[in-house]
Amino acid sequence: EAQVTQNPRYLITVTGKKLTVTCSQNMNHEYMSWYRQDPGLGLRQIYYSMNVEVTDKGDVPEGYKVSRKEKRNFPLILESPSPNQTSLYFCASSFRNSPLHFGNGTRLTVT
Amino acid sequence: GQSLEQPSEVTAVEGAIVQINCTYQTSGFYGLSWYQQHDGGAPTFLSYNALDGLEETGRFSSFLSRSDSYGYLLLQELQMKDSASYFCAFPLGSNTGKLIFGQGTTLQVKP
């Protein structure tokens, strides 16, 4: 089954404790991206990648890192999480500008 | 700059027709997409317009007027399950993973 898999679905952590949210897709998509969703603000792009070893900043990259060492994986790293990074996070993948396939989301709470 | 504007909420009754508008500002236009998101779930792709006119997919249609920088999503024969958030979005280039979403319109379908 074609899918984008994010883990974990829920995560509660404390300020400053490094964490990684994993994202994997099995559709051989070149494009992958991360979004955060906050009430009233819609989906805002954090980082995107157009292929292996090619990443670029989206609209809200501060406080996040990504890597694209393999085509299928695109982890999101928070080196020192802060409470303002409490949000719902989505990973997505696609071929070029064709429709995005989203993962089921990761609800992160930073206390 | 680049931006999209949508109404924040729309309410309609079951069986009716509802139109969700999206106006946009961008220096280069590469198509307008629509996504549906049920509460807290993964957004799913509904429709895409690259050229002016109407695209129909079952009960859902999407319209684009590039000269007016305007599009809309039309939902016919509304069902309770159509209660969801709807987002318009566009890419910032013909070959880029950078995507901008509107803030979303919450549709409430009443019996």
User: What are the tens digits of pLDDT across the range A18-71?
Assistant: 999 999 999 999 999 999 999 888 899 999 999 999 999 999 999 999 999 999
Task: Tell me if B90 sits within 8 A of B33, measured CB to CB.
Answer: yes
CA A61 to chain B, closest CA, distance in angstroms equals: 12
Nearest to B42 among A40, A90, A97 (CB): A90
CB atoms within 10 A of CB B17: 12
C-alpha B37 chain-centroid distance = 11
Percent of chain B with pLDDT over 90: 81
Most distant CA atoms of chain A, gap in Å: 37
Residues of B in contact with A103 (CB under 8 A): 42
Handedness of CA B77, B82, B83, B86 (dihedral sign): negative
CB contact under 8 A, A97 and B42: no
Q: Looking at the complex, does the CB of residue B67 fall below 8 Å from at least one CB of chain A? A: no
Question: B33: nearest CA in chain A?
Answer: A99
CA dihedral B84, B65, A96, A49 (to 10 degrees): -70
Q: What tens digit of pLDDT does each residue of B70-103 get? A: 999 999 999 999 999 999 999 888 777 788 999 9
